[in-house]
Copies of this chain bind each other. A is one copy, B any other.
Amino acid sequence: MTPGASTGGEFAVIDRLARRLPGPPAGEVWIGDDAAVLGPAGGQTLLTTDFSVVGVHADLALMGLDDLGWRAVAVAVSDIAAMGGSATHVLVAVAGPPSTDLDALYEGVAQSVAAHGCVVIGGDLSNATEVVVVVTVAGAVGDGPGPVLRSGARGGDHLFVSGPLGASAAGLRTLREAVAAGRPSPASGDSSTVEAYRRPRARLAEGEVARRCGATAMIDISDGLAADLGHLADASGVGFRVDRVPVSTGATVEEALGGGEDYELVFAAPEVDVVLRAFEAAGLRPPVVMGRCTTDRDQRQWLTPAVVPGGWEHRFR
């Protein structure tokens, strides 16, 4: 439970706090989307900050500090991907006990920023009783349409997801089962689901192509498809019907719908062909068409029997 949530859910808390503060000028977006949008159209900057707290977001019995460092960067960069931007600069603030192996943590940070095409420009260190990593990412929006907000979907838009879901939750389950059975923790390289849990990748290329090919709304899947698609629909004032969800190999349908932490992107766009051609032209695997937005904002229809059973590979073989 989020701090302050004893007096309302997380979104209610954020709404209440935001009302204490002045709002943005026209063309900017401050609190409430995946990242803040600053500056005039054509040269906008994105800024976002994200916690990774051991005991809340990560269990050091199931991952190394290097994985924690990787993941903290990827999770924050994913908010930039969800706007259709590129990540440029990263600040890494780390608090923990004096015994914390910062070299291991920064090894993962260094690998993750390199993989995501950005650089570390600063940070802070502090003592604390638990390990807390806060990553702030600055991003840029390239040529073409502006950043993709959560709020632009319209009734009739098709809903896409950038890849199969549930791998991270399945990896977490595998690791927990190993610990419970007293078996050694699987290495990341031994299992794609364990790798997906420990070392997620932000979908920067997919987000940028989605922005360029007409995406009207976009969000990354951190809390789970059901929750995050709900956020997008709420922000856009639309309903949805979903009749197809790609499930990762090794994951259950429940893990795909509710597991979260896959960091795939969900987006809405009016034209299926335009989207599929743009992803193909960019050399990216095609997104899965999950369903459509509807004009009835109260509609939340999940036709789960039609979930794609074997995951990505089966759908597009």
**What is A's interface to B at a CB cutoff of 8 Å?**
1-7, 10, 13-14, 16-17, 20-22, 24, 28, 30-31, 35-36, 38, 47-51, 53, 55-57, 89, 91, 93-103, 106-107, 110, 113, 119-132, 134, 136, 138
> Which residue from B10, B47, B124, B132 sits with its C-beta under 8 Å from A95?
B132
Q: Is the CB of B103 within 8 A of A136?
A: no
Chain B residues with CB under 8 A of A97: 3
User: What is the bound-complex CA distance between A130 and B134, given in angstroms?
Assistant: 15
User: What is the bound-complex CA distance between A129 and B102, given in angstroms?
Assistant: 21
What residue of chain B has the Cβ atom nearest to residue A92's Cβ?
B49
* Nearest 3 A/B pairs, CB to CB: A4-B102, A3-B100, A51-B126
Q: Is the CB of A101 within 8 A of B4?
A: yes
Q: Is the CB of B136 within 8 A of A91?
A: yes
User: What is the bound-complex CA distance between A106 and B14, given in angstroms?
Assistant: 11
Chain B residues with CB under 8 A of A95: 3, 51, 53, 56, 132
Q: Is the CB of B93 within 8 A of A127?
A: no
Chain B residues with CB under 8 A of A3: 94-100, 102, 125-128, 131
What residue of chain B has the Cβ atom nearest to residue A50's Cβ?
B124
User: What is the bound-complex CA distance between A107 and B21, given in angstroms?
Assistant: 9
Q: Which of A13, A91, A131 is most buried by chain B, counting CB atoms within 10 A of its CB?
A: A91
Q: Is the CB of A2 within 8 A of B89?
A: no
Count of chain copies: 2
Given known pairs A107-B20, A120-B31, the reply for A55 and B129 (CB within 8 Å) is yes
Q: For chain A, what secondary structure do more than half of its interface residues adopt (helix, strand, loop), or is it mixed?
A: mixed
Q: Is the CB of B93 within 8 A of A56?
A: no
Given contacts A35-B122, A138-B138, 12 further A-B contacts (CB under 8 A): A3-B94, A4-B103, A16-B103, A20-B103, A24-B121, A38-B138, A49-B91, A49-B134, A51-B93, A55-B128, A55-B129, A56-B127
What residue of chain B has the Cβ atom nearest to residue A119's Cβ?
B22
Q: Is the CB of B122 within 8 A of A2?
A: no
Chain B residues with CB under 8 A of A22: 119
> Which residue from B47, B102, B125, B126 sits with its C-beta under 8 Å from A91?
B47
Q: How far apart are A22's CB and chain B's nearest CB, in angstroms?
A: 6
Q: Is the CB of A128 within 8 A of B53?
A: yes
Q: Is the CB of B17 within 8 A of A53?
A: no
CB-defined A-B contacts under 8 Å, sample of 11: A3-B96, A3-B100, A4-B100, A4-B102, A7-B103, A20-B110, A30-B121, A49-B122, A51-B134, A53-B95, A53-B126
User: What is the bound-complex CA distance between A48 and B122, given in angstroms?
Assistant: 7
Q: How far apart are A293's CB and chain B's nearest CB, in angstroms?
A: 26
> Which residue from B21, B100, B120, B121 sits with its C-beta under 8 Å from A38?
B121
